[in-house]
Amino acid sequence: MKNSYIKKTQVSSLRALLIQPFRTALGEHKTLENILFTIELVDGTKGFGEAAIATHITGETLEETFSNLEAIGRMLEGRDASDYLKISGRLHDRFMKNNAAVAAVECALLDALTRQWKIPLWKFFGSRPRRLVSDITIVIADLQETEESVKKFYRQGFRAFKVKIGRDEESDFQRVLAVKKHAPRCKIYLDANQGYSADQTLNFLKRLKRQGIKPALLEQPVPKADWEGLKRVARLTKVPICADESVSSLTDAVRVVKENAVPVINIKLMKFGLIHAREIAILAQANGIKLMIGGMMETSLAMTTAAHMAAGLGGFSYIDLDTPFFIQDARKNPYLNSKGIYELRKVKAGVGITL
């Protein structure tokens, strides 16, 4: 039997406490509750993948994802992991409403294979690993908590701040001013998580402009189905507009290209899996669309997997791989420093993270 055949799989819970509730316009995470999917090949090589569940964003649930991963595990046992493209196609067809499960499986497959091949995962995507410098998220909170978070992360060395907005326009405005005050000369990204209308968004940006603030990026300002509103905002402002929830499939990415909808797409493994994420990145780059690499509430396993893809492919203008900094008592990631810099040259094989 070939060494790349799958001997067994395992599905287990992945839980952790957060340093603070991770609040967005759509909801919040008070704890991290994800799922770990493990593949073991016949030669004993293991690969790990994480399914990050964000029910308030995607509608996926822990129970459904756990059950689907158990079913996928039974399906995979005895299969050749090197047939990852066939496996990926089948999973996307069968579990199109549970992309987090597909992502976990694809990540585990490619982690196992690249460990077996004795190469780091980034080599699957490119010839050299680009250095990635992540932003840090400022979640929706009261003004005092916002100021404390900004000052802490600024002292830590972060120089790009992604401010969650979309619940209350006046509170959002004051919080952005606080970020500008306590993190001078730093990049400010905004993420409304579908919380505004097109008119609200344009008015909000005008208010910021009067204060001398021009965000370096504005992510998903309007509801995901409001493509006309999204295109209108992108057309009427000089701030780069990034589609996140509006682009949850390869089909959506093609629509962005055809309609010239926005200048930036946010790629998240939990929306697409590794294989489709790579295809979307190539499609976007070929059509002059810039890329952000992001994620849900994920541990260093999924975050570092995403970093491998972005570092290997290159061409990612915005890096948002910061959720390990929100996990209490997280193991130190040897490839991520306290300033949010991912350096993957030290990875010897696979993703390099074992949970």
Q: Tokens representing 270?
A: 């939990």
pTM for this one?
Answer: 0.96
pLDDT in tens, 50-85: 999 999 889 999 999 999 999 999 999 999 999 999
Q: For the chain, how many residues are written?
A: 355
pLDDT in tens, 292-321: 999 999 999 999 999 999 999 999 999 999
The amino acid occupying position 186 is C
The amino acid occupying position 312 is G
Q: Distance between CA 334 and CA 323 in Å, rounded?
A: 15
Q: For 85-106, what is the mean pLDDT?
A: 97
Q: Tokens representing 237?
A: 């402002």
Residue 103 has pLDDT above 80, yes or no: yes
- DSSP label at 105? H
Q: Distance between CA 130 and CA 113 in Å, rounded?
A: 22
Q: Distance between CA 52 and CA 65 in Å, rounded?
A: 10
Which pLDDT belongs to residue 355?
78
Radius of gyration of the chain (CA): 20
Assess contact for 173 and 204: CB atoms under 8 A.
yes
Domain 6-119, CATH class in plain words: alpha beta
Phi-psi region at 263: left, alpha or beta (left = phi > 0; alpha = psi -120 to 50): alpha
Which pLDDT belongs to residue 352?
98
CATH architecture type of domain 122-342: Alpha-Beta Barrel (3.20)
Domain boundaries, the chain: 6-119, 122-342
Please name every residue paired with 163 in a beta bridge, in sequence order, or none if there are none: 138, 190
pLDDT in tens, 109-160: 999 999 999 999 999 999 999 999 999 999 999 999 999 999 999 999 999 9
Residue 26 has pLDDT above 90, yes or no: no
- DSSP label at 199? H
Please name every residue paired with 50 in a beta bridge, in sequence order, or none if there are none: 36
Longest alpha-carbon distance in the chain: 68
Contacts with 313 (C-beta within 8 Å, 6 or more apart), sequence order:
125, 126, 278, 281, 282
Q: Distance between CA 286 and CA 301 in Å, rounded?
A: 29
Q: Distance between CA 318 and CA 7 in Å, rounded?
A: 39
The chain-wide mean pLDDT, for the chain, equals 96
Q: Which residue matches tokens 């998220």?
A: 137
Q: Distance between CA 101 and CA 315 in Å, rounded?
A: 27
Lowest-pLDDT choice from 113-122, 166-175, 329-338: 329-338
